[in-house]
Amino acid sequence: MKPSTSIQDYLKQIYELTENGSPASTNDLARELNIKPASVTGMIQKLASEKPALIEYQKHQGVTLTSAGKKAALEVIRHHRLLETWLVQTLGYSWDEVHEEAERLEHVISEDFERRIAAALDHPTRDPHGELIPTADLKMPLDDSTPLSALRKNQTGKILCIKGADADLLRHLDELGLTPNTMIEVTDYSPFDHNLTIKVGKKNHVLGLSITSKIFVEEK
Amino acid sequence: MKPSTSIQDYLKQIYELTENGSPASTNDLARELNIKPASVTGMIQKLASEKPALIEYQKHQGVTLTSAGKKAALEVIRHHRLLETWLVQTLGYSWDEVHEEAERLEHVISEDFERRIAAALDHPTRDPHGELIPTADLKMPLDDSTPLSALRKNQTGKILCIKGADADLLRHLDELGLTPNTMIEVTDYSPFDHNLTIKVGKKNHVLGLSITSKIFVEEK
DNA sequence: TGTAAAATTTAGTCTTGCCTAAATTATTTT
DNA sequence: AAAATAATTTAGGCAAGACTAAATTTTACA
């Protein structure tokens, strides 16, 4: 049976917190979901005792997704990213506005709806932020991007993805023209503070690590 | 604050059951909402004691909407009908498929989303079934349609709306070409059983009262 | 290594919205 | 008008999913 909206939110969040390979802690989950840690423990115990189990869990050790849990998480993430793409393309949302709307819609659309928007968008592989969209058979495509912070003077690339930016930063990057699919060139690098000077269009911008580590590019 | 999904469903249903002018009974609500009558009583008491009250209620007398309740109901109905229109126009749903999808989406879309689809559709006044769409300021437009069953031999009209048909009947009417905006002519009337012979395109169909009373036309 | 701080879990409570069973009120039939 | 039936309400319960306060475990640091 289809997991509740709450459970879908937990699974999605666990997926994201465990992408680095390490288990997700009760506290991290609580922070990300805006829920008290005690409540998270309760839900964790429930998810671990579902059959089939959706997460792997041992007291005080954090949680990881089982394959059933990962599948359910990817389903929600696919919904979310297809919806964002579609809202931007068909209703003129800007890429920094769509998140909240998709956050609510992702839980209620049918598989039929999912198929229809995927087809209407011609089966996109990345959403407006550049995040990879899980495939229809619920696999996450391989990510071939590099953080902009890893580039050095004279290297060029195409922006693929902006990760982990809040609404303010998204708007700021939009104003600078730093959006997915834009070509950029590193015109200077400061080894001291890791600042990069980036040429985008005809303008140069000096960006610190807190920004360049959130921009992912395909090196050319 | 925004009413819960459950409350929105109650209000929408009460709106529809009271369109005839008489209050909605506990039993009718229970039947339409697939909920037990005892549960309906509980919710009714809650809705009547909200401030401001959303319904008018006296024990054993049925319920009607207050103006606050009607406003909330029209908001949901506007969402539903705009969504149906939009799903049909942009995602190729057929008019007999959209109901369920809209039923879930109507509760989660933002006012911004509502404005965007209304604008994208050029502010339609009727949904794919022909039902009137409440205006942006939450008034229900006047209905200028007549039941097809009231027409007699040689009268002609344009189909405006199909009301209260289940999925089977919707598909059947679709096959006969009896969809909103179609021109029809009454070529015969049987006073005995109230059957009407209707010419639609080049074909004639004999329709009983159970069908003609669900088709609403603009008489020409 | 022992202790303080941080993280986690347990225990008990609350709200929402549904349920069943039983009691009450209204309506219909004889 | 009384009896039978139908509609409605009351009472008591349950599951989901959140909360607070208190107990426990783990980790970190002196």
What is the ipTM for the molecules in this complex? Answer: 0.92
Distance, angstroms, CA A39 to C1' D21? Answer: 13
Question: Is B110's Cβ below 8 Å from some Cβ in A?
Answer: yes
The per-residue pLDDT for B96 is: 83
Is it the case that residue A66 has pLDDT exceeding 90? yes
Residues 6-45 of chain B with CB under 7 A from strand C are 6-7, 9, 34-36, 38-39, 42-43
∠ Cα A188 A194 A197 (to 5°) = 30
As ranges, strand D nucleotides with an atom below 7 A of a protein CB are 7-12, 16-22, 25-27
> A47 beta carbon < 7 A from strand D?
no
> B5 beta carbon < 7 A from strand C?
yes
- For the segment A7-65, what is each residue's pLDDT rounded down to a tens digit? 999 999 999 999 999 999 999 999 999 999 999 999 999 999 999 999 999 999 999 99
Regions of chain B where pLDDT drops below 50: none
Structural class in CATH, domain B5-65 = mainly alpha
The per-residue pLDDT for A104 is: 98
Q: CATH topology for B146-219?
A: SH3 type barrels. (2.30.30)
Which pairs with CB-CB distance under 8 Å and at least 24 residues apart come from A165-174? A165/A129, A165/A214, A167/A96, A167/A99, A169/A211, A169/A214, A170/A95, A170/A96, A170/A129, A171/A96, A173/A211, A173/A215, A174/A94, A174/A95, A174/A96
The per-residue pLDDT for A140 is: 98
The per-residue pLDDT for A95 is: 86
E-state strands within chain A: 55-57, 63-65, 146-147, 156-162, 183-189, 196-200, 203-207, 215-219
- For the segment A110-154, what is each residue's pLDDT rounded down to a tens digit? 999 999 999 999 999 999 999 999 999 999 999 999 999 999 999
The per-residue pLDDT for A72 is: 98
Residues of A in contact with B108 (CB under 8 A): 104-105, 107-108
Query: Could you tell me the residue ranges of all domains in chain A?
Result: 5-65, 146-219
